[in-house]
Structure 1
Amino acid sequence: MSTAVLALGATPAAAQDAPPQGEQATTLDRIEVTGSRIKRADLETSSPVFVIDRQNIENSGAATVGEFLQRTPAIAGAATNPQVNNGGGAGAATVDLRGLGVNRSLVLVDGKRWIGTVSNANGAVDINSIPMTLIERVEVLKDGASAIYGSDAIGGVVNFILRRDFQGLEASAYYGISSRGDAGTERYDATFGMTGDKGNVVLGVSYDKEDSVSAADRAYSSQPYQLYAGEHGIGGTSRILTGRYVVPRSAATGVNLSDPNCGSGANVVLTRIDGRPGTSTSDFRCFDNLNDVYNFQADGNLNLTPQERTAMFVSGNYQLSENVEAFVLGSWLKTESSFFIAPLPFDGRAAVDNVPISGDSIYNPFGVDITDARLRLRDFIPTRTTRFETDTYQITAGLRGNFGDSSWSWDASYGYGRTPQSQSVRGYLYSPGLTDALGPSMIDPATGNPICVRTPGDPSTAIAGCLPVNFLGPPPDPNSPAGQAQLAALNLINPTITNTNENDLKVFNANITGDLFELPAGMVSLAGGVERREESASATSDFLTLIPPGETVCLITQEACTFGDIAGSFDVNEIYLEALVPLLADVPFAEKLNVSLGTRYSDYSNFGGTTNSKIGLEWKPFSDLLVRATYADVFRAPTIGDLYAPTVPSANTYTDPCNGYTGQPTPDPRACAGVPTDGSFQQSNNQVTSFQVADPNLQPEEGDVFTYGFVYSPGWLEGFSITADYWRVKLEQFITNLPENVMLNQCFNFGRYCDTFIRDDAGDVAQMTNVIGNFGRLQSSGLDVGLRYLFAETGWGRFAWNLDASYIAEYNVRLLADDPDSDVGAFPGIPQSTGLAGTFVDNASSGFGNLARWRALNDISWSLGNFSASLTTRYVHHVYEAPDVADVTEPGYVAKRRVPSFTQTDLQIGYQFEELNNSSIQIGVRNLTDRQPPLIYSGFNASTDMRTYDAIGRYYWMRWTAKF
């Protein structure tokens, strides 16, 4: 597929690129534009398209596709990238146009679907799996295109156009490193092309490797910063190194119970005094909810995950006859990556890990079972790690041709994609073994060594291979025999967990396009086609992670548990028609007036049929001005992950509406069941294990997208153009999980969703169940603006200026749209009437992310002879983050916190060596001023937004390209 290039900047042709073989001028004049299947001569159509050419990609200094694409102003929200430790550990990078979600942005390669490569079967494409050295340009269609491409094209389409007819050998080497000496990156590419009388073949290989960046090595991420009651501070979690233990007040005989932190209840919450052995109750004190916290950021978390990729690809075409050509594209990529997160938090509560510390343990000075013990196991077992190995296979082969000398052309192709992935997980404990190790124990009278026993005090019931573990004392000393024995015993119950998953895509499509008949204003053109697509996904979990029927825990720590495996598929048959009808031409106030029409019928095996149509208008009142508009029906089919994913736990944040509960009636008694009624209750943790559940009965999202705007290229100012396009998206049947706050508040206020959570004996929310559904509606609108000016050449060289900006005017989401009161607690601090535009909401369930009102990309480039340079500035407007609902009743409450804007400037200088076959060298600095990301206290990673801002800081890079 060939597409039109809108001038983002100069796009010089490579010296080795040969002209297409056997093509006539008429073929070159009629090309296919992204967003339409009709071949036409016009480069500008009714649909707005943003283009990134190869020169811009190289000038960015990016080593991966995701790095350069993230700068696009139309990309917002919460797309994954390798800076996101928990979510980007597989090395993946996804696209989120307009902040509408990665599942609502369609990714194509040469106009055809690419295999979804994100491991949770959500259909999103890892754009880092697309061979970077083959990319000629990237076209971003900022319009709804379900009538042309089917499901997912709601926010728009990202179409990667690959190089064709390449001849010769091109090799490049890239190296980059941050100013702090980390994030080292190396990349090597080699591309070989050969052209003959009847065809062309391109072969290539590439390798890149990127080192990690530790959260501890950046000031903004070295601490878990927080904002509470309007005060800035350093937070953390209640799973601390000295533990948090709930024991009866009567058993805390050696504790200073006059401490205000001890409260007045029947139970008291204790922690070991740092430096004490924990062998006596006097070694403990009452737990301080505000100050006894653990800095999880400094212990293992990453700002950039390590990753390594090896790729091979082939692209070719061969002229079978005068009118028929065969073509093929094959790609293989192997990605090896890892992520590291803070050491395991042990939580012995029945609703979580269900591992008590026995009152008969030789290490328990209280002499009672401790069923609520929480401890950070930093010094007991290694940091939690997950290593990924992902293979991505994609092959597309087909035929294309013309019907004689007519305007009609056709193509038919079959594509197959497959992404097997394996995960190796470490840092979790085998629960039955840990239960034995924390259970009854004694000193063996025969050997004098500690042993685990089934019956307290009876050595004959000793458990073979078990050594008692001390979770109430200091960590084991690796230099002592006893400490070494405990560490060895823990290592035996620290298994390697292996999970596998795979996505598969099979696509057959056939298209035909040409002219039907001529009207006074021009030819009526038609395109039509059929497509059959089959998608499937499977996942197999380690038996250690499977939760038995009727249970809530598995054989390891709960956060790694799952209720089963993925095994799902669907197929869809589609047919479409598209027409271009010229209404007026070369008359006063209408140099051109065209209407484009399109419709597509899709029949899904899981929910049935849907029809989506589109109409576009192109009006040129005079030669310098194009006015355009589109209206499109759009839809998104639920993904296999939405439909069939296994139930998995997620540690999600929440604010308990029962904090300070005084016994007032609630619509359902389960709302605050077990919570004290004297007003003293405050939740003991801000995270809850929430089981995320798929729903095979989901219906598709449906909506419409409306755009209108203009392109003005004044004849009186050669080289200058301006574009402006308004857009509006409406979606119904929005597919999402409800935020945990919503369900808790719904129960508290209206008695709904009370069966989604359970509380423990202390009244804390211990566990939640969160089923995905078609909840509510979304409406968003905004404006895209682009300015281009290619200056006339002077003795000082030639300059080009490009500015692109995107503005989000509104972004409104109403969950549970059938309930007028459904917004209670939906998005803390953000009234539904205000909406989400200009805010940051990063919730594991909803995850709308960064919806800054303005994003812009400004590029100034210069060339003189063999020298070139560019200065690129990326701007993200300020956003507001909302504090927790708990802040509403606290002194100093602020409705929203303003997060400063972020500006990043990149510099690149290049030189071309004509005497060396136009080989070139480029050196550059990304983030020239070493701008650090702003603090966002509710950030998903590192107290900022790792999905949006540069997390590395100043970065130096160099690329050498040799051509033969």
Structure 2
Amino acid sequence: MYKKNKLSSCIQLALALGVLSAPVSVALAQQTESEENTQNTQQEEQTAEKEVVERIEVTGSRIKRTDLEPTQPMTVVDGEYFSERGLTNAADAVVEIPGVQAAASPVIGANVGASSQGVGQNTINIFGLGSQRTLTLVNGHRFVSSNSPVGGGSAPGSQVDVNNIPISLIERVEVVKVGGAAVYGSDAVAGVVNYVLKKDYEGAEVSVDYEDKDGIANEVSFRTLLGGNFGGGRGNVVLSVEYNETDNVLSSEVPSLRDSWTLQQPSAADRVLDPDGNYNPGQLRLYPQPRAGILSFSGLVTPGPLAVTNFGIGQWGDGNFYQFAMDGSGSLVGYDPGVATGNAVWSSGGDGLDLVATNTAQEGYERVNITAIANYELTDDVNFSLTTFANSSDAANPGYQATLYSSGVFGGTGAALRFSTDNPFLTDSSRSELEGLLGGPGDFYMHRGWLNLGQREVVNESNVRSIRFGFDGEFDIANRYFDWEVSYQRGVSSVFSQSTAINDWRWLTAMDVGINPETGQIDCKFNYVDGYGDELVPQGSGVRGTESILGRPGDCSPFNPFGTASEASIDYISYLSMGKTRVEQDILSAYISGDLFYLPSGTVSALVGFESRREYADFKSDGTDQFMGFSDNSTGGEYRTKDVFGELYIPLADPSQDIPLVYSASLETSYRRMDNSRSGTDNAWAVGLNYRPIEDLIIRANVAETVRSPAITELFLPRVQISSFAADPCHGANRGNGPDPETRQRNCDAEGIPEDFVSIATNASRFGYTGGNPNLSNEQAESKNIGIVYAPSWAQGLDLSVDWVEIDIEDAITSFSLTNIMEACYDATNYPNQFCDMFVRGPDFQLPTIDAFESGYVNAALRSFEAIEYAGRYHKALHEFPLVGGWFSEGMGDLTMTLRMYNLKKNATSNTGFDFSDSTGQYNNPDWRGDFKIAHRLDRLLTFLDVRYSGEGSRNVNNTDEYKYIDIDGTPYNSLPSITTFDLGMVYDFSDTVRFRAKVENVGDWYPNRKELQAGRWTWGRTYSIGLNMKF
């Protein structure tokens, strides 16, 4: 009895202190002997009823117990931490944890690309094993996903957008690493993130936060919380309303992103030889200001259909390159090809296409979350609960229309455009110069990235509605405690997206101009040539009538390709491309748990339960893209699961038994039988052990088998056209890469591909096809962990833990990218194999622009992961601190230090079973990550310093050549330095009702150097934030 009360008090103390993310079991505070004796006396006076109240449920098990010793590594972040650090998103504190990262985030930074249906979303990825393998819960229950089956912000799956979780209602976040499927169901492979919300709140409060990111972007957050009791204290209602707004930011607005860098095969003059005078054909050199020398934003003009300025292709007879002026005047001016690299496309500097000008650094959003929680005690033993969410957000990605390119390297409507010198949009001077270069009237070609077609902003309107209600209670039978719960939950999320697209037919028609004989003005030929476009009558997709895709004669507004396009012409060629996602989730669940019987070591407890779940997702496009020749990617489907599950907790030894070297021990098991309507039946189970040889030391271990069910996208996606670049294994610079470079080299040679081959697909996307697979089975995973927790009684306030984790995944669902397919072909010892038939090469060994490859989802990948986590926490009055305590007098406050370190041992991936690649030690998967937090509290003032560390990493762990990567100054390098950043802040409570806080993130204003920036490392510079909280 005494022990139970002590542990329960420790739980409350740990949560009150805000353990920050040290493992929960590490946070158990040790008490002095006098405190223990006092508490023992008090506990003897407690009733059995009080004992029941103290039982608590912690993530990883549904059995409510009085001890808090999980068999897996657990991290807890207290809700107070969000307030003190001024965090405005539920993901912020979680992704700070070493080993946890954001999978989707509004901050894109140096990583190019965005989704059409996932703009502004935030999802969580434990151990980097994929966000689809991290299960996010709210109050121990699933939450409806916002991840679209098409164009989602994360990998296919049921990931939760944690933007929907209200900050002001978070009581704590429990992060259990390793498994969880036996307790919570499919998807809990890497671990579980459980947001525990406040159930009973009385009072009112308002919070306002403002953040300035590097003087470039702002964020404003406003939150209100209102709660109170009713029914004579038997009921409680809490209402939370939150508003957040962030800015759209283009990469060109961020200095550190604007000054971009690229790694390219060096030109002959830039090659660096090794000490023996040899040159590595796969050598890559760092160049500033990458520009695509195959087109420009104003229009590169060439005498022929191909422009590759690095190789001199596209020069005129006078040896020069020309383009139209950027000022829109239509004048013909010189084109600077920049400094040639050894790559066909990319040069350094010059007038070529600059992709940074069209990239997004941060997606802006405006979000409103409304959450209500109600509880009512129907009787002393039965409670009714209701939780509702009504969230809405508008998010935008401010990209540009420059995703439309015209270049001789591309095909179809993306090819270079041919014009005649009699085009009426040419200025007299440009016509004269062109005819002079051509030797008279004739045709010329233009290669352009169309930045003047207006901004192509992708806008998402998202809504989430969720309601969960249920009954729970507790009762005694034969002096045995039982608790139960029955609940139903329905969640619906929808995403409506729209973006401006270009109608290729209208665009080409608007450029096919002449002089209208009736008006004498420049006009589209479609407007005055009889029969023009009669064959372009749309069919299907609900279209009715005989009107041409081009509209009616007179609708077309001529488009000037050489200068400034008119608004009327842009309106004519543009259309809104729209899509709508709807995700539904229905869950009916019930369980009962309680005490089975008593052993000398304690009470054996068990739980049995049932869950029926329906997951439905649907994406519908508006059909307009089909007019342009694109596939209809509308898709949808559902699956249902019926699960039965159970848990068993067995205390093996108790301190009262006085067993040598066995202070206490317990065994816990969990099992779930899953019946999925699509992937069939499967089992998940886990067995865990807690062993205390002495009171101060816990040894914990767990082994589990978990599963992940196929997502709706993976099952039902129709065969659709996609585009992809490819790191062609037979490209000269890539031949020395791969798991076995000799095998790759031998297979490329066998196909007859030259050693200095330059693959266009490395720089110009190719079109192919992919689709879903209704015959997919569940992913299978096995996880193991073992750790120790040490809280020495001789060092009050010190807690330490170490945990080893291993996760192996088989039959992982993957969709081969073009690069994956080609690597599987050329890196295999059984070349040629089936993967070689999934892509085609032409006589020149280049991949064709269209119909280049065929892909789809299969159960083929393997993942193997291993890591060691370290955590430590020390809390003490400042005057009692070792070594320095003598410098301070009593009453000068308390000091808390927390250290978390994450040592990655293995992170290996194989898409085919024979192409394992371990990225451990690479710059994006360094051996070490960690953070150190130190906080000092003196009465009403809290000051803190947070230090974050990411270790040094290899530029490419598979590279063994010292001269593979060359800096701009000709110095070889193969590693990127470690990163250490500092945050400094303070919180001051003017009273019990008014709190002010201020924080500076990245105090040292760390920016990535050129090598880091090229590799994708990036963060905001110095960031300031302030906040105010008032309670009423």
Fold similarity call, TM over 0.5: yes
Partner of 1:272: 323
Q: 1 CA distance for matches of 2:48 and 2:558?
A: 79
Pair 59,870 (structure 1): closer, same or farther in 2 beyond 3 Å: same
Q: Does 1:315 align with 2:373?
A: yes
Q: 1 CA distance for matches of 2:397 and 2:747?
A: 44
Partner of 1:205: 241
Partner of 1:376: 449
Q: 1 CA distance for matches of 2:337 and 2:947?
A: 52
Partner of 1:87: 114
Q: Give 1:471-482 correspondences, 5 Å limit.
A: 471=561, 473=562, 475-476=563-564
Q: Does 1:231 align with 2:286?
A: yes
Higher helix share goes to which structure? 2
Q: CA deviation at 1:623?
A: 0.6
Residue in structure 1 matching 2:996, options 918, 921, 925: 921
Partner of 1:466: 556
Pair 436,112 (structure 1): closer, same or farther in 2 beyond 3 Å: same
Q: Does 1:153 align with 2:153?
A: no
Partner of 2:509: 436
Partner of 1:734: 812
Partner of 2:779: 701
Provide Cα deviations, 1:921-950, integer angstroms capped at 9, x if missing partner: 1122122222224556787xxx624xxx5x
Task: Give the letter aligned to residue 262 of structure 1.
Answer: I
Contact between 1:881 and 1:938, CA under 8 Å: does it hold in 2?
no
Task: Give the letter aligned to residue 995 of structure 2.
Answer: S
Q: Does 1:220 align with 2:256?
A: yes
User: Which is worse superposed, 585-594 or 445-454?
Assistant: 445-454
Q: Does 1:753 align with 2:851?
A: no
Contact between 1:133 and 1:191, CA under 8 Å: does it hold in 2?
no
Contact between 1:930 and 1:954, CA under 8 Å: does it hold in 2?
yes
Q: 2 CA distance for matches of 1:8 and 1:322?
A: 27
Pair 503,595 (structure 1): closer, same or farther in 2 beyond 3 Å: same
Q: CA deviation at 1:332?
A: 1.1
Q: CA deviation at 1:727?
A: 0.3
- Unaligned segments of structure 2, at least 5 residues: 1-7, 21-46, 265-283, 427-433, 534-552, 734-743, 879-889
Q: Does 1:388 align with 2:473?
A: no
Q: CA deviation at 1:875?
A: 1.6
Q: Give 1:931-950 correspondences, 5 Å limit.
A: 931-933=1006-1008, 944-945=1016-1017
Q: 1 CA distance for matches of 2:250 and 2:328?
A: 32
Contact between 1:59 and 1:870, CA under 8 Å: does it hold in 2?
no
SS at match of 1:400: strand
Q: 2 CA distance for matches of 1:707 and 1:809?
A: 14
Contact between 2:697 and 2:791, CA under 8 Å: does it hold in 1?
yes
Q: CA deviation at 1:293?
A: 6.1
Partner of 2:869: 784
Pair 562,293 (structure 1): closer, same or farther in 2 beyond 3 Å: farther
Residue in structure 2 matching 1:532, options 604, 609, 612: 612
Pair 658,247 (structure 1): closer, same or farther in 2 beyond 3 Å: farther
Contact between 1:49 and 1:139, CA under 8 Å: does it hold in 2?
yes
Provide Cα deviations, 1:896-921, integer angstroms capped at 9, x if missing partner: 8423222222222122233xx43211
Pair 143,104 (structure 1): closer, same or farther in 2 beyond 3 Å: same
Pair 139,604 (structure 1): closer, same or farther in 2 beyond 3 Å: same
Provide Cα deviations, 1:92-135, integer angstroms capped at 9, x if missing partner: 11100011110011100110001111233631111111111110
Contact between 1:239 and 1:346, CA under 8 Å: does it hold in 2?
no
Q: CA deviation at 1:722?
A: 0.3
Pair 588,658 (structure 1): closer, same or farther in 2 beyond 3 Å: closer
Pair 862,281 (structure 1): closer, same or farther in 2 beyond 3 Å: closer
Q: Does 1:543 align with 2:634?
A: no
Pair 852,666 (structure 1): closer, same or farther in 2 beyond 3 Å: closer
Q: Give 1:348-497 correspondences, 5 Å limit.
A: 348=406, 351=411, 353=413, 357=417, 362=423, 374-379=447-452, 381-404=453-476, 406-426=480-500, 428-439=501-512, 441-453=513-525, 461=532, 464-471=554-561, 473=562, 475-476=563-564, 484=566, 487-497=567-577
Partner of 2:1022: 954
Partner of 1:508: 588
Contact between 1:532 and 1:572, CA under 8 Å: does it hold in 2?
yes
Q: 2 CA distance for matches of 1:887 and 1:437?
A: 53
SS at match of 1:813: strand
User: Which is worse superposed, 226-235 or 144-153?
Assistant: 226-235
Contact between 1:131 and 1:311, CA under 8 Å: does it hold in 2?
yes
SS at match of 2:699: strand
Q: 1 CA distance for matches of 2:571 and 2:642?
A: 52
SS at match of 1:932: coil
Pair 580,760 (structure 1): closer, same or farther in 2 beyond 3 Å: same
Pair 680,244 (structure 1): closer, same or farther in 2 beyond 3 Å: farther
Q: CA deviation at 1:401?
A: 0.6
Pair 957,562 (structure 1): closer, same or farther in 2 beyond 3 Å: farther
User: Which is worse superposed, 334-343 or 530-539?
Assistant: 334-343
Contact between 2:418 and 2:443, CA under 8 Å: does it hold in 1?
yes
Aligned residues with identical type, % of pairs: 24
Partner of 1:64: 89
Q: CA deviation at 1:682?
A: 5.5
User: Which is worse superposed, 882-891 or 295-304?
Assistant: 882-891
Q: 2 CA distance for matches of 1:677 and 1:202?
A: 69
Partner of 1:875: 949
Task: Give the letter aligned to residue 175 of structure 2.
Answer: V
Residue in structure 1 matching 2:398, options 331, 340, 359: 340
Provide Cα deviations, 1:391-431, integer angstroms capped at 9, x if missing partner: 111111000011346411100101111111111202x2111
Residue in structure 2 matching 1:710, options 772, 777, 788: 788
Pair 904,52 (structure 1): closer, same or farther in 2 beyond 3 Å: same
Task: Give the letter aligned to residue 429 of structure 1.
Answer: I
SS at match of 2:82: helix
Partner of 2:663: 591
For normalisation by structure 2, the TM-score amounts to 0.78
Pair 678,180 (structure 1): closer, same or farther in 2 beyond 3 Å: closer
Q: 1 CA distance for matches of 2:463 and 2:965?
A: 53
Provide Cα deviations, 1:478-506, integer angstroms capped at 9, x if missing partner: xxxxx53xx42122111122211111111
Partner of 1:829: none
Q: 2 CA distance for matches of 1:421 and 1:802?
A: 40
Residue in structure 1 matching 2:855, options 770, 781, 790: 770
Q: CA deviation at 1:654?
A: 2.0
- Unaligned segments of structure 1, at least 5 residues: 14-21, 477-482, 548-552, 555-560, 824-831, 841-849
Provide Cα deviations, 1:303-358, integer angstroms capped at 9, x if missing partner: 22211111111111111122211001111111111002243243457855467745
Partner of 2:894: 798
Pair 886,226 (structure 1): closer, same or farther in 2 beyond 3 Å: farther
SS at match of 1:776: strand
Q: 2 CA distance for matches of 1:391 and 1:952?
A: 29
Q: 1 CA distance for matches of 2:202 and 2:496?
A: 37
Q: CA deviation at 1:368?
A: 8.4
Partner of 1:262: 313
Q: CA deviation at 1:678?
A: 10
Q: 2 CA distance for matches of 1:545 and 1:858?
A: 51
Q: 2 CA distance for matches of 1:6 and 1:293?
A: 63
Task: Give the letter aligned to residue 396 of structure 1.
Answer: R
Q: 2 CA distance for matches of 1:688 and 1:887?
A: 30
Q: CA deviation at 1:648?
A: 5.7
Pair 315,140 (structure 1): closer, same or farther in 2 beyond 3 Å: same
Contact between 1:82 and 1:90, CA under 8 Å: does it hold in 2?
no
Q: CA deviation at 1:143?
A: 2.0
Q: Give 1:551-562 correspondences, 5 Å limit.
A: 554=629, 561-562=630-631
Contact between 1:759 and 1:766, CA under 8 Å: does it hold in 2?
no
Q: 2 CA distance for matches of 1:682 and 1:356?
A: 16
User: Which is worse superposed, 320-329 or 87-96?
Assistant: 87-96
Q: CA deviation at 1:881?
A: 3.5
Q: 2 CA distance for matches of 1:933 and 1:677?
A: 35
Q: CA deviation at 1:61?
A: 2.0
Contact between 1:65 and 1:127, CA under 8 Å: does it hold in 2?
yes
For normalisation by structure 1, the TM-score amounts to 0.84
Q: 1 CA distance for matches of 2:555 and 2:126?
A: 55
Pair 226,6 (structure 1): closer, same or farther in 2 beyond 3 Å: farther
Residue in structure 2 matching 1:723, options 801, 805, 830: 801
